[in-house]
Amino acid sequence: MSHILSNFGKIHAAALGKVAVLLGGRSAEREISLLSGNGVLQALRARGVDAHAFDPAERALGELVRDGFSRCFIALHGRYGEDGTVQGALELLGIPYTGPGVMASSIAMDKVMTKRVWSAEGLPTPRYVCLAPDHQTHKQVLAVPDELGLPLIVKPPHEGSSIGVTKVKGYSQMQDAVRLSARYDPNVLCEEFIAGEEVTCPVLGHGAGARALPVIRIKAPEGAYDYQNKYFTDVVQYQCPSGLPAAEEREIQRIVLASYRALDCRGWGRADLMIRASDRKPFLLEMNTSPGMTGHSLVPMSARAAGISYEDLCVGVLALAALDYRPKERA
């Protein structure tokens, strides 16, 4: 196990200072963020960290400086928390934060830009069509299945937690799927459907020191790994250890690390993938740069398989808090 993972659990709480757990926020994923943030808050306090809840939807970020916070654990999901905006504000305030910096967060939040970067790096990701607002006529929408085949996936490129996602099985579903996605994002991402197994793999660290955690295999009823089943039911089965052949798991971890580094992520993240049943080839779907930390969340599950408790994971991620740019010392 790498140096970074073996040191989780050996971090002194007092050295972390006064910590703000950013939770809630204004995105469509507010409900999940509150669950994640409160879980993190309790875990940090259980380890003796001076941690406090801070909801940016209810308080101005400038209060972080006024109240003497020394670092932030970002437990926000979606827009205004995972997309580079709050990261940029914290850069200006000079307060280190968990997860990737401004550019990496912004790119990873945009699934189309992420796919462009991965494709440029030669990393496997499903074929796609992006429908801008002026390319969503009935004729243009119905042309998408001709290019990508059926079934296909329609989703908003700037949302997570399966919000606004439709699996389209026929031409007659396309227009409604596009309308649903456009409620959350003016651009609509249409993606080739990869028939096979869904897996996910977290990463901790930065650059050459980043390490992939164990792969998790996801088995949802009839493939319905949607918002409700992700967070509020127990019908989804998770396998960790994955039970995949060792060589297959290593290849997934290799691709995930390459995808993480290509986006210049740091701190932590979690990549979602599909393994095509026909040839066992893995395809990258997206990179989560502020992963969920609820009772149903996957990073804690994978960390536990690597010997890292939920509490130690929270403290370890917090200890990796950083800034893109160090503020200059005032004369």
Check 25, 27, 29, 164 and give the catalytic one.
29
* Domain boundaries along the sequence of the chain: 3-98, 107-124+195-316, 128-192
Q: Could you read off the pLDDT of 12-40 as tens digits, one per residue?
A: 888 999 999 999 999 888 999 999 999 99
What is the fold of 3-98?
Rossmann fold (3.40.50)
Is the link from the previous residue into 145 a cis peptide, with omega within 30 of 0?
A: no
According to the model, what pLDDT value does residue 233 have? 53
According to the model, what pLDDT value does residue 9 have? 61
The pTM for the full model equals 0.91
Residue with the bigger pLDDT between 61 and 235: it is 61
3-state secondary structure of 188: strand
Check 36, 288, 290, 297 and give the catalytic one.
288
Averaged pLDDT, 219-239: 65
According to the model, what pLDDT value does residue 36 have? 96
> How many Cα atoms occupy the beta-carbon half-sphere of 95 within 13 Å?
26
Residue 296 binned pLDDT confidence (cut-offs 50, 70, 90): confident
Backbone phi and psi for residue 231, each to the nearest 5 degrees, phi listed first: -120, -20
Is the link from the previous residue into 186 a cis peptide, with omega within 30 of 0?
A: no
272 among known catalytic residues: yes
Backbone phi and psi for residue 197, each to the nearest 5 degrees, phi listed first: -100, 140
231 among known catalytic residues: yes
161 among known catalytic residues: yes
Check 272, 290, 312, 316 and give the catalytic one.
272
Per-residue tokens: 234: 């127990």
User: Which residues of the chain form beta strands (DSSP E)?
Assistant: 18-22, 50-54, 71-74, 128-131, 152-155, 166-168, 188-192, 196-204, 211-212, 216-219, 237-239, 268-276, 282-288
According to the model, what pLDDT value does residue 331 have? 43
What is the fold of 107-124+195-316?
D-amino Acid Aminotransferase; Chain A, domain 1 (3.30.470)
171 among known catalytic residues: no
3-state secondary structure of 192: strand
DSSP result, 21-85:
EE---SSTTHHHHHHHHHHHHHHHHHTT-EEEEE-TTTS-TTHHHHTT--EEEE---STTTSSSH
Q: Could you read off the pLDDT of 152-176 as tens digits, one per residue?
A: 999 999 886 678 999 999 999 999 9
Q: Could you read off the pLDDT of 38-47 as tens digits, one per residue?
A: 999 999 999 9
Residue 222 binned pLDDT confidence (cut-offs 50, 70, 90): low
Question: Partners of 268 in the beta sheet?
Answer: 204
Report CA-CA distances (Å) from 151 to 128, 144, 146, 172, 220. Answer: 13, 11, 11, 12, 17
Q: Could you read off the pLDDT of 256-273 as tens digits, one per residue?
A: 999 999 999 999 999 999
Check 231, 242, 267, 269 and give the catalytic one.
231
According to the model, what pLDDT value does residue 231 have? 45
36 among known catalytic residues: no
Contacts of 246 (CB under 8 A, 6+ apart): none
Q: Decide if pLDDT at 279 tops 90.
A: yes
- Tell me the pLDDT of the chain averaged across its residues: 92
Q: Which CATH superfamily is domain 128-192 in?
A: ATP-grasp fold, A domain (3.30.1490.20)
In terms of C-beta density within 10 A (0-12 exposed, 13-18 middle, 19 or more buried), how is residue 12 classed? exposed
Dihedral in degrees, nearest 10, Cα atoms 66, 67, 68, 69? -110
Averaged pLDDT, 208-229: 78
DSSP conformational letter for 330: P
């740069």: which residue's tokens?
Answer: 289
Q: Decide if pLDDT at 315 tops 50.
A: yes
Count of H-run helices and E-run strands, the chain? 12, 13
